[in-house]
Amino acid sequence: MAMVSFGAYAQTGYYIAPGSGAGNPGGLNGDAEYPPGGGLPAGWTTVLTGPQNEMWSANQSLPFAFKFNDQDVTSYKISANGVVTFDVATSITPSAVNADLPNAGIPNQSVCVWGVGATATGDFVVSKTFGTTGKRQHWIQYNSCSEANIGTGWIYASIVFEEGTNNIYIVDQRYNGTAASKISMGIQIDGSTAVKVSGTPAYAMKSVNDATTADNVFYSFIPGSQPADEAGIVSVTMANYISVNNAPFDITFNVQNGGSNAITSLDVEYTVDGGTAVSGKITGLNIASGASGTAVHPTKWSGTVGSHTIAVKIVKVNGSDDTKVGNNNASKSLMVFDKAVDRKILNEVFTSSTCPPCTPGNINYNKVIDGRDKHSTIKYQVNFPGTGDPYCTQEVRDRMTFYNVNSVPRMEIDGGWDNNANSFTTALYDEYQSKPSFIEITGSVSLTWKNTITLDVNVNPLLDNASNNLKLHAAIVEGVTYANKKSNGETQFESVMKKMMTGSVGQVLTPLKKDTKVSKKIAYTFNGGYRLPLDGSVAQHINHLSENSVETWNDLAVVVFVQDATTKEILQSETFPIALVGTEAVEQNLNLYPNPANNLFVVEAKEMGNATVVVTDLQGKVVFNGNMTSGALSMNVADWSAGVYMVSVNGNNKNLNSKMVVRH
C-alpha cells in the first residue's frame, strides 16, 4: 500500500486514512470498468467526451447534502484535465501538464487526479450515484482517459463524495500503459494548503488492466484531525470455504491503524449469524501508525455445516473507546462443509468470425486450457461486428443480454469474472477451479433416434441451498465447426453453441436439500436439414422449428450447469460427450452400448456381417482393430483411458462412423 504525506490544513481540514483500502470504498460500486457503449453498466451520465483540453464542464448538482472543509457545497464542475472543483465561479483553468500540490494553477476547494484527461477521442468523464438515502456515494470517473506520460494506453480513476461522512475518496481503478503514469492526487483547500497522496506529482497507478473492482486501490480523505488511537477493520480474513473437520476455527481479520499511536491491544467482539456477541481482548499487538496487521480473536468458533455470516466489531483501541466508529465493523459470509467435489468451471466465451481481436482471444483461451480438464466450454458466436457470425442465434443474443455483453471478445468464468478473453490466464483458471463445489452433476446423453438428443442428468446437492433463483441449463455444443468462417482469419471454431435444450432461461430448480438428488430427463429434436446462414443478422437466424446448423452429428456434446439467475454465479458444470450413433448409423441399425462404457463395450450391426471395426482416439491413434462375428463384437475397455473415441465400421459396401465414450 502506498505511503501518504500530510500537508498543512485549515482548522477543520482533512487527513488521509493511512493505508486506505483495496477494492472500492464501502463496496457500493461494483460496476465493471468499461467505456460508455462498450460494456459500462447502465446508470452512468456522460459529462465530458474527448477530445477536450483545458476546459470546464457545465455546473453539476450534488445529489445529497455535502460539506467540503466544513463548508456546505451544492454543486461542482469538472475539468477535462483531472480536477473537480466546488469553486464553480473560478476563472482558473488547470493546465494539461500537472505539477505538485498546492498549486496556484488549481482552484480552491478542489479534488485532483490532475494529469488524467479527456484529451483524446475515446476519453470520457462520467458520473453516477450509488447507495440508498443517507449512505450514498456520488462517483465522478475519468473513464478510459489519456495521460501524457504513459505512452500508448489509458487510465480509469474516480473521485467520490460520500453522504453522511463527508469523506472524499480517490480511486485508482484501471491502468494500461507502456510507461509509468505521473499524476497529482489529492485535495487542494487553497493555494497554500493541500493533502496529497504520496508520489504526487508523479503518482504511478497501482491498478492493472482488470475491468473488475478487485485490483482497485483507494485513498480516503477524512474531515478533521488524525486521532491518537483509531483502528478500522479492512476485512474478515477467514477462508470462503472451510471444512468442518478443521473446527474450531480462528476468527481472523485485518486491522488498519488510522491513529498516530501504535496499536498494542484491541477489545473486539464477534457474532455468528446475528447471535450472541463473543467478547475478547487481543494483546501483544504492535501495529504502527499507517500500517496494517492481522488480529485473531482469543475465542475460537466451533462451527457447524452450512452457510454463516461472521461479523466482527472493534470496541476499544489501546484500552480507549474508538471514537471513529464508521470503520469498526466488518462481516463475511462463508461456508462450512463436510464434503465437496472438484469444481468444473464454466467458461462462456462470446466471439465472432467477423471480429479481428477475437482471433488472439481464442488463441489465448486455447493456450490456457491446454492440458487441463476441470472446465466446460461454451462459445457463443455473436451477431457483430459488421455482419456478424452466421451461427449466431436468438439464444446466443439472450445470453448476451443476460451478461450485458456488447463487446467482443468477452468471457465469463462461472458467471463471475467478466473480461476480454485475451486477459484470461492460468492463474484465473486455478483461482476459480480451486473453489470447492457442493453440487455433483452426473448422467449421460445419447442420440436415441435420428436427430433426437436425450439427456438424463442428476443434480446431487452436498449442502442445502435455499435459493429460489437456481436454474438448470443444458447447451448442445459442436466440437469443431468450419462453415461459419468469415473475415477474421479463423478457419475453425471450437465448442460452438447450437441449442439450449432448456431454453434461454433454463429450468427452475426448487431449493436444494443436502443429499436429495434431483433427476431430470430432457430431450431435444433437431428439425429439418442443415442451413448455413449468410451472416449473423436476426433475419438470418436459424429457425429451430424447421432447420438446424449442425455440421457433423458425431462431434456433439451437452454442457450442463447450475446457475443462480440473480447473482449469475455458476455452482457447477459438467460436459457430456454425446453417446451417439450418427444419423446414418441409426438408419443402418448400428448400436453402440453401453455408452458411456466402463468395462465391456459392444458394437452391433446385424446387416454388416463380419465387418472390420477400427477404434481411434481423438488424436487418430488406433487403439483397437478387429472384426465382428455375425454382426456383433465386444471389447474390454477397462484399461482404456477415459475419454472420447471414434468407431469406424467397414464392410458390406458400407462405412459407418460413430463415437463412443469411456468413463471409469
Q: CATH 2.60.40.10: which residues of the chain?
A: 231-337, 345-577
What's the Cα-to-Cα distance from 544 to each of 293, 400, 647, rounded to whole Å?
A: 59, 19, 29
When pLDDT is cut at 50, 70 and 90, the band that residue 2 belongs to is very low
- Residue 25 is given by DSSP the state G
Lowest mean pLDDT across 18-32, 47-61, 580-594: 580-594
What grid cell was written down for 658? Answer: 460413430
pLDDT at 339 over 90: yes
- Interval 592-650: pLDDT, tens: 777 778 888 888 887 788 999 999 886 788 999 999 998 899 999 999 988 778 888 88
Average pLDDT, the chain: 91
Q: How far is CA 23 from CA 15, 243, 255, 465, in A?
A: 20, 27, 16, 28
Question: In percent, how much of the chain has pLDDT > 70?
Answer: 95
Per-residue pLDDT for 453 more than 80? yes
For range 27-43, the mean pLDDT: 90
Q: Which of 274-278, 387-391, 576-580 has the lowest mean pLDDT?
A: 576-580
pLDDT at 498 (0 to 100): 98
Amino acid at 631: G
- Segment 264-267 long-range contacts (CB within 8 Å, at least 24 positions apart): 264/318, 265/316, 265/317, 265/318, 265/319, 266/231, 266/295, 266/314, 266/316, 266/317, 267/314, 267/315, 267/316, 267/319
Work out the average pLDDT over 34-60.
Answer: 91
The confidence band for 582, taking pLDDT boundaries of 50, 70 and 90, is very low
pLDDT of residue 5: 38
Q: Would you say residue 663 has pLDDT above 90?
A: no
pLDDT given at position 19:
65
Which amino acid appears at position 361 of this protein? Answer: G
Which DSSP category does 59 fall into?
Answer: P
CATH superfamily of 345-577: Immunoglobulins (2.60.40.10)
- Burial, 28: exposed, middle or buried (Cβ in 10 Å; 0-12, 13-18, 19+)? middle
Q: How confident is the model at residue 3 (pLDDT cuts 50, 70, 90)?
A: very low
Structure confidence at residue 38 as a pLDDT band (50, 70, 90):
confident
Cross-strand bridge partners of residue 21: 218
Between CA 320 and CA 160, with CA 294 as vertex, the angle to 5 degrees is: 80
pLDDT of residue 583: 45
Q: pLDDT tens digits for 410-436?
A: 999 999 999 899 989 999 999 999 999
Q: Give the pLDDT confidence of 515-558 residue by residue, as tens digits.
A: 999 999 999 999 988 899 999 999 999 999 999 998 877 788 99
Helix (H/G/I), strand (E/B), else coil: 445:
strand
Percentage of the chain lying above the pLDDT 90 cut:
72
Match domain 231-337 to its CATH number in 3.30.750.24, 3.30.70.270, 2.60.40.10, 3.40.50.1100.
2.60.40.10
What pLDDT is recorded for position 654?
A: 80
Cα–Cα distance, 27 to 167 (Å, whole number): 15
Residue 484 pLDDT > 90: yes
**Residue predicted with more confidence, 620 or 169:** 169
Closest CA to 85 of 169, 189, 201: 189
Average pLDDT over residues 146-163: 93
Residue 450 pLDDT exceeds 80: no
Three cell numbers, residue 539 = 433475419
CA–CA distance, 226 with 499 (Å, rounded to integer): 61
Q: Give the residue range(s) of CATH 2.60.40.3080 domains in the chain.
A: 584-662
For residue range 69-99, what is the model confidence (pLDDT) as tens digits?
999 999 999 999 999 999 999 999 999 999 9
Q: Please report which confidence band the pLDDT of residue 13 belongs to, taking 50, 70 and 90 as the band edges.
A: confident
pLDDT at 6: 36
419: which residues sit within 8 A by CB, 6+ positions away? 210, 211, 212, 410, 411
Which residues lie closer than 8 Å to 105 by C-beta, 6 or more apart?
Answer: 92, 94, 95, 99
Quick check: pTM over 0.75? no
The SS3 of residue 276 is coil
Instruction: Calculate the CA 488 to chain-centre distance.
Output: 26
Residue 581: predicted pLDDT: 45
Specify the higher pLDDT residue, 200 or 151.
200
Query: Among 37-41, 112-116, 163-167, 464-468, where is mean pLDDT lowest?
Result: 37-41
pLDDT band at 459 (very low <50, low <70, confident <90, very high): very high
pLDDT at 7: 36
Options 2.60.40.3080, 2.60.260.40, 3.40.190.80, 3.40.605.10; CATH of 584-662? 2.60.40.3080
Residue 151 has pLDDT above 90, yes or no: no
Q: Name the packing angle between helices 358-369 and 426-433 (round to 10°).
A: 60
CB neighbours of residue 558 within 10 Å:
25
Q: What is the pLDDT of residues 199-220, one digit of tens each?
A: 999 999 999 888 889 899 999 9
Cα separation values, 60 from 77, 165, 407, 435, Å: 6, 21, 30, 45
The pLDDT, as a whole number, for residue 79 is: 96
User: Is the predicted pLDDT of residue 256 greater than 90, yes or no?
Assistant: no
Rounded Cα distance between 415 and 236, Å, is 24
Q: How far is CA 359 from CA 209, 273, 417, 558, in A?
A: 20, 48, 20, 25
